[in-house]
Amino acid sequence: MDINTHEPPFEETYRALFQNSTALKAKDHDQNHSMVDNNKECELPLIDLDRLNFRYLVNDHLNNFQELDKCIKEMAEAASEWGFFQVVNHGIPRKVLDSMRYEEMKMFHQPFRKKSEENFMNLSADSYRWGNPTATCLRQFSWSESFHIPLKDISRLDVCNKSRSAIGLFAKKAACLARRIAECLAQNLGVKSSYFQENCVPSSNYVRMNRYPPCPSSSEVYGLMPHTDSDFLTILYQDQVGGLQLMKDGKWHNVKPNPEVLIVNIGDLFQAVSNGVYKSIEHRVVAHPEVERFSMAYFYCPSHEAVIESCSHPAVYRKFSFREYRQQIQMDVRATGDKVGLSRFLLQ
């Protein structure tokens, strides 16, 4: 491998996995790709968040509250039916997203030997991640790389580094947005308004920047393997390449890219709190054979001690702490290469 290349050495490092899994690759392709309709893109429910503000119709308070209530109901319906929706007038300026994207590209295009160093940009040793070291077959492999940055680690970046400013500003804006959306969705469930303020402290949340390199084995491996998110909700901004897919009605659907929106998806914890009303939907990224893809995400998580409990009865899931949930996921991944998730916590 050229020591100056920025591409991770996927095939070199995982040579045995690629060489010894010919039969599995064919089987995985038949089982996991046969449902994809490559000619059809779905457009997620579109929510205008301007109605969460009171900037218009200031002389008509009743209409204001009706619009606010309608906005919350639309989000709740999308969270129940799709588990995904897209938002406009979300409060994160385009220049903030563009700046973040520019810095993201600069970080990923550093030589692989440099970004895989323990002290790269003074980040934690496990911030840079690529491939999947626990994969036991190609179905579990992800042809992608990421920077996983807890909010508390942003301050570790050099004060003069433009990436610190860009990541910090994006995180600040996304944190406000995530909390607003979570509180609205909780309000629809009758959950007390202080729940997220009490349980989702800034230090428990994180930003993840993703890059999906061109993949010569795109018909055999994923850019990101199918999964659900282990949080309350995720705020995602993706580029125009496409590749994000979600599972609905037993089929994989391509999510149409739109530079004017952010994508919001429900995580496992909100499904548990909502007693199964809101859906944490399986999603994945299909690898592209020729073009690299970038995305950035904000994950809204509770502290490890936070207790996750269904809001209504009879409860579908037993009560558990976020620490317990994460530990169970880690045990399952080590044992099988796969996340099992919420089904571990079903009462019946």
pLDDT, tens digit, for every residue of 243-281? 999 999 999 999 999 989 999 999 999 999 999 999 999
Residues 6+ apart with CB under 8 A from 2: none
Q: What is the 3-state secondary structure (H, E, C) of 123-192?
A: CCCCCEEECCCCCCCHHHCECCEEEEEEHHHHHHCCCCCHHHHHHHHHHHHHHHHHHHHHHHHHHHHCCC
| CA distances from residue 320 to 76, 91, 127, 346 in whole angstroms, order as listed | 24, 33, 27, 11
| pLDDT at residue 23 is higher than 60 | no
| pLDDT at residue 303 is higher than 70 | yes
> What is the reported pTM?
0.91
For the ranges 117-121, 162-166, 186-190, 270-274, the one whose mean pLDDT is highest: 270-274
- Can you tell me the distance from the alpha carbon of 1 to that of 7, in angstroms, rounded to the nearest whole number? 9
For the ranges 14-28, 144-158, 290-304, the one whose mean pLDDT is highest: 290-304
| pLDDT at residue 343 is higher than 90 | yes
Under a CB-based contact definition with an 8 Å cutoff, are residues 108 and 115 in contact?
yes
pLDDT of residue 82: 97
- Can you tell me the distance from the alpha carbon of 51 to that of 65, in angstroms, rounded to the nearest whole number? 9
| pLDDT at residue 231 is higher than 80 | yes
Q: Is 143 exposed, middle or buried (0-12, 13-18, 19+ CB in 10 A)?
A: buried
pLDDT-based confidence at 336, cuts 50/70/90? confident
- Can you tell me the distance from the alpha carbon of 272 to that of 151, in angstroms, rounded to the nearest whole number? 25
The whole-angstrom distance between residue 204's C-alpha and the CA centroid of its chain comes to 15
For the ranges 150-154, 185-189, 229-233, the one whose mean pLDDT is highest: 229-233
| pLDDT at residue 30 is higher than 50 | no
pLDDT-based confidence at 284, cuts 50/70/90? very high
Under a CB-based contact definition with an 8 Å cutoff, are residues 283 and 245 in contact?
yes
Rg over CA atoms, the chain: 20
- Can you tell me the distance from the alpha carbon of 147 to that of 100, in angstroms, rounded to the nearest whole number? 13
Q: Which residues are catalytic?
A: 293
Under a CB-based contact definition with an 8 Å cutoff, are residues 200 and 193 in contact?
no
Q: Which pair of tokens denotes residue 24?
A: 């599995």
Q: Helix (H, G, I), strand (E, B), or coil: what is residue 279? A: coil
Under a CB-based contact definition with an 8 Å cutoff, are residues 342 and 268 in contact?
yes
Quick one: how many helices (H) and strands (E) in the chain?
10, 15
Average confidence score pLDDT of the chain: 89
- Can you tell me the distance from the alpha carbon of 113 to that of 110, in angstroms, rounded to the nearest whole number? 8
Identify which of 337, 214, 210, 345 has the alpha carbon closest to the alpha carbon of residue 273.
345
| pLDDT at residue 34 is higher than 50 | no
| pLDDT at residue 322 is higher than 80 | yes
- The tally of CA atoms less than 13 A away on the side-chain side of residue 93 is 5
pLDDT-based confidence at 61, cuts 50/70/90? low
Residues 6+ apart with CB under 8 A from 297: 207, 208, 210, 234, 235, 236, 237
pLDDT-based confidence at 128, cuts 50/70/90? very high
The whole-angstrom distance between residue 119's C-alpha and the CA centroid of its chain comes to 25
